[in-house]
Amino acid sequence: MRRRLGIALVGMVVASLMLAGLGTIVLASVTNRQTDEQELRDQTDALRALFSEVTVVGSSEDGQTRAERLQRLSRTMSLEGIGIVVIPRNGAAPLGVLPPGIQFDDLDLDRLRRGEIDSGGKDGLIFAAGATENRGGSNTLLVLTRDPDPIVAPAFRWFLVAGLGTVLVAIVVTIRLSRRLTDPIRETSATATRISEGNLAARVDERHARLGGEIADLVGSVNSMAATLERSRALERQFLLSVSHDLRTPLTNIRGYAEALIDEATDDPVAVGEVIESESRRLERLVGDLLLLARLEGTGFAYSMRSHDLSPLVENTVEGLRHEAGERGVDLTVRLPKGPVTALVDRDRFEQVVANLVGNALKFADSSVAVTMWFAEGRVHLAVADDGPGISDADLPHVFERLYVAQHNPKIKESGSGLGLAIVRELVEGMDGTVVARRAPAGGAEFVVSFRPSGA
């Protein structure tokens, strides 16, 4: 990729130089030729005015002929040559010669007869011609020629020098730029490969994020993905350990009491049977939670959504948990609004949400659990609060995660299953509701679920 990027950048620089340089040279050449031709026309016009006042004779006192004087004038004016042709009035042959390289056929005689100046180019020469009549009555034709200024060759040489220097600079810049752009991508690709091979501790160097833009987004996304995967693996390992412990304890109890029955080592088989039944129910609840959570996270779980008055559903569910609250020594109170409070929910799943939240609160409450329902801001809200140790700020964003258990000590790694609250979140969101965790006014934890009322 680095090579392709470098070739593309250098090629683009070279192409841009060629287009800009050659275009500039061509335009400069055309402009320079037009300027030279205009200067030659101006000189012709000036000489024509001069020759209308004087007459160039054949020889002078210093022995110079007409041709020699014209040649000296030509050098003085930086011209290639001056041609003067005198056309006698008696119809005799014209006197004088045209400059080398110019023939009568190259001139527009009609324009010259009208007193206009004719100009153009031939074989690398620029010429201008004009006719005038001197004081002696002779018609004189002036033809001036010059080479165009040599702008193309010097400009092209300087263009080559400047172009070569620019290409060298472009190569150096391209190498540095390609490394700067491709190194983060190559490292990110290598990191992604290590992650796919199971090395979830692999990270892309954060210094690449200083480049900003899409590179920073890519580095941040890969590192965030790796951190999430690493955390999920740790949580999964801890979840398996927790579930294994929760399964092992009742299984050990069941096995121990079953062996006591077989060995007839107990005097009260009924009590032993009650213990075995209790532990079996405990296993059944745990397995049921696991299966329910798996179904909730799948795509085939169906809800029977109907409009229900939530007050009796909450009251009946809480009444079913009063015995457990009494055994724990916790005061369980319910505050419901007067009149019906209807919402579109699945009745069984809503009761399960209430039961899970109240059951969770009973585990952590010191002396009281309060269940409150109210209507505000166009939604029905149900809060379950306890006066227990509460939830730390670090734990609040994670309490509904499937594999999360609160960090009672920030130095201790996360462990446990957290199935009850994970099921609550899945059920509430499946019924188009919301659930949040926050600190309770009494100092413990408070969970609030919200639903849209029927007809809203």
Bridge partners (DSSP) of residue 371 are 334, 384
Q: What is the per-residue pLDDT across 252-275, written as a single tens digit (0 to 9) for each?
A: 888 888 888 888 888 888 888 888
What's the CA gap between 341 and 374, in Å, rounded? 8
AA identity, residue 174? T
More confident residue, 55 or 101: 101
**Domain positions in the chain:** 2-153, 236-297, 306-451
Q: Tens of pLDDT along 109-142?
A: 788 778 888 888 887 788 888 888 766 666 777 8
The answer to whether domain 306-451 has CATH 3.30.160.110 is no
Instruction: Please provide the CATH number assigned to the domain covering 2-153.
Output: 3.30.450
Q: Kindly report, residue by residue over 160-178, the tens digit of the pLDDT.
A: 777 777 777 777 777 777 6
* Residue located via tokens 């110019």: 102
Mean pLDDT for the chain overall: 78
Quote the pLDDT of residue 332.
94
Give the pLDDT mean for 212-219.
78
Q: Exposure string (b/e) for 299-334, b if CB count within 10 Å is 16 or more?
A: eeeeeeeeebebbebbeebbeebeeebeeeebebeb
Task: Locate all alpha helices (DSSP H) within 61-104, ordered by sequence.
Answer: 66-76
Q: What is the pLDDT of residues 83-116, one digit of tens each?
A: 777 666 555 556 667 788 888 788 887 887 788 8
d(CA 120, CA 129): 9
Indicate the fold that domain 236-297 takes in CATH.
Answer: Helix Hairpins (1.10.287)
- Per the model's pLDDT, the better-predicted residue between 204 and 26 turns out to be 204
Coil, helix or strand at residue 242: helix
Q: Is the pLDDT of residue 418 over 80?
A: no
Q: CA 300: distance to chain centroid?
A: 36
The sheet carrying 379-386 orders its strands as: 331-335, 368-376, 379-386, 445-451, 434-439
User: Of how many residues is the chain composed?
Assistant: 456
> pLDDT category, 310, cuts 50, 70, 90?
very high
Average pLDDT of span 371-375: 94
Query: Rounded mean pLDDT of 144-157?
Result: 68
Strand ranges across the sheet with 81-87 = 81-87, 139-146, 125-133, 118-122
Percent of the chain beyond pLDDT 90? 15
Alpha-carbon distance of 330 to 365, in angstroms, equals 7
Model confidence pLDDT, tens digit, residues 184-194? 777 888 888 88
Give me the sign of the Cα torsion angle 331, 287, 238, 226. Answer: negative
